[in-house]
Amino acid sequence: MIEVPDRDIKILAIESSCDETAAAVVRNGREVLSNIIYSQIKFHEVYGGVVPEIASRKHIEKINPVIEAALKESGLQLADIDAVAVTYGPGLVGALLVGVSEAKALAYAAHKPLVPVHHIEGHISANYIENKDLEPPFLCMVVSGGHTHLVMVDDYGKYTILGRTHDDAAGEAFDKVARAIGLGYPGGPKIDKKAKEGDPDAIEFPRAHVKGAPLDFSFSGLKSAVLNYLNAKRMKNEAVNEADVAASFQKAVVSVIVDHTMEAAKTYHVKKVALAGGVASNSALRSAMEEACKRRGYSFYRPSPILCTDNAAMIGAAGYYDYLRGIRAGLDLNAVPNLKLGER
Ligand code: KG4
Ligand code: ZN
């Protein structure tokens, strides 16, 4: 168990692992005093995906103004902050390094402790912000652009990965299928929107299961099935109903994610289920998971969409619990692009 101090702990959090430059001030892990997100999407969308070199350069340009804005909006000065928390992995190495270097400089200059935070731990901790009563243990389905992990949150900072993807991450599948349909980047929100006009039962796409690993995921077969369907249609010069493809693909992804999460909840006897990561803002996934939990009498938690996609408030939430657990980094902290959950 974590011992909670009887004074307020204010964390300045920094996130720069991919294409959002973000800073936030979070009090006691659950109260967001400011949450500034600078999205670089407009610079990347013409290339159909995130260009690492552009991401690093934009982070360098924006990191100082974003941090200043976060402090200003919180009404606090750097001197009032108890610790600086920063995402140090996983992510793009050049992008991560901008946040890590900035956090080290601030911690050194202001004589504050430096708390290294795992990006996925941040996504999971986004659930604490709007659910003040949520405490481990609970099950969390993490679905982002780079990760698909079914995680048992045993305690603050203690995780057991029950299921993972063998190939594409859920968000990656959304992005690739959106590109194939011609919806552009980033694909997740575009498929979500398009699917609302389509029939989710129009096309039967495969629900991939991994033999011998019932809680694992595989999305590459589904992605290929969508590509084959589109190619066959185009070869025959037949019109493609984009909304039906989007809705049917989305249904296939959502049903596998919900089924595996329910299976894990049953197997491990948990009655608290949470969603996290960019794909957790998908409207079909949110309602299907909510419905499945309701039917079984489970409590269901999910962050608001703005706290699902990359942001620094979630890093401040995770950073608070890491801070209380005494986790600190020195000025030799480095970015770790392939950092595993639960590793330091
Ligand atoms: O968590 P995130 O912001 O970044 C990573 O840590 O990867 O997730 C980004 C991913 C992208 O693949 C994006 O297409 C997907 O989340 N995404 C969505 C939606 N909004 C974002 N996928 C499905 N439906 C959405 N509404
Ligand atoms: Zn993320």
Residue 171 in contact with ligand 1 by CB distance below 6 A: yes
Same domain, 299 and 154: yes
Nearest ligand to the C-alpha of residue 186? Answer: 1
Q: Whose CA is nearest to atom 2 of ligand 1?
A: 278
Torsion angle of C-alpha atoms 177, 181, 184, 188, degrees rounded to 10: -40
Give 167-177 pLDDT, tens digit per residue: 999 999 999 99
Ligand 1 probe mutation, 172, 309, 338, most atoms within 8 A of CB: 309
Residue 337 in domain = no
CA dist., res. 336 & res. 92, Å (int): 9
Q: In which domain, by residue range, is 246 found?
A: 136-303
Residue 110: what pLDDT? 98
Same domain, 47 and 125: yes
Residue 178 in contact with ligand 1 by CB distance below 6 A: no
Residue 219 in contact with ligand 1 by CB distance below 6 A: no
**Ligand 1 center–CA 257 separation, angstroms:** 15
Closest ligand 1 atom to Cα of 310: 3
Give 125-142 pLDDT, tens digit per residue: 999 999 999 999 999 999
Same domain, 161 and 55: no
Q: Whose CA is nearest to atom 5 of ligand 1?
A: 145
Residue 209: what pLDDT? 86
**Ligand 1 center–CA 281 separation, angstroms:** 8
> What total of structural domains would you count in the chain?
2
Residue 341 in domain = no
| Under 8 Å between Cβ of 37 and 328 | no
Residue 144 in contact with ligand 1 by CB distance below 6 A: yes
Residue 264: what pLDDT? 98
Average pLDDT over residues 300-324: 98
pTM of this prediction? 0.97
Same domain, 251 and 312: no
Residue 16 in contact with ligand 1 by CB distance below 6 A: no
Residue 2 in domain = no
Same domain, 34 and 143: no
Give 76-131 pLDDT, tens digit per residue: 999 999 999 999 999 999 999 999 999 999 999 999 999 999 999 999 999 999 99
Residue 186 in contact with ligand 1 by CB distance below 6 A: yes
Same domain, 174 and 45: no
User: In the structure, what pLDDT confidence band is assigned to residue 179 with cuts at 50, 70 and 90?
Assistant: very high
145 φψ region: left (φ > 0), alpha (ψ -120 to 50), beta (else): alpha
Same domain, 318 and 295: no
Q: How far is CA 333 from CA 83, 100, 109, 158, 194, in A?
A: 15, 7, 16, 21, 43
User: In the structure, what pLDDT confidence band is assigned to residue 344 with cuts at 50, 70 and 90?
Assistant: confident
Angle 93-110/52-74 helices, nearest 10 degrees? Answer: 30
Same domain, 299 and 313: no
Angle 220-235/242-267 helices, nearest 10 degrees? Answer: 160
Cβ atoms within 10 Å of 257's Cβ, excluding its own: 25
* Percent of the chain surpassing pLDDT 70: 100
Is pLDDT above 80 for 1?
A: no
Same domain, 110 and 206: no
> Closest Cα to residue 125, out of 328, 298, 303?
303
Is pLDDT above 80 for 47?
A: yes
Query: Could you tell me the CATH number of the domain that includes residue 71?
Result: 3.30.420.40
Same domain, 174 and 221: yes
Torsion angle of C-alpha atoms 217, 223, 226, 230, degrees rounded to 10: 180
Residue 48: what pLDDT? 87
Same domain, 166 and 206: yes
Ligand 1 probe mutation, 144, 196, 249, 308, most atoms within 8 A of CB: 144
Average pLDDT value over all residues in the chain: 96
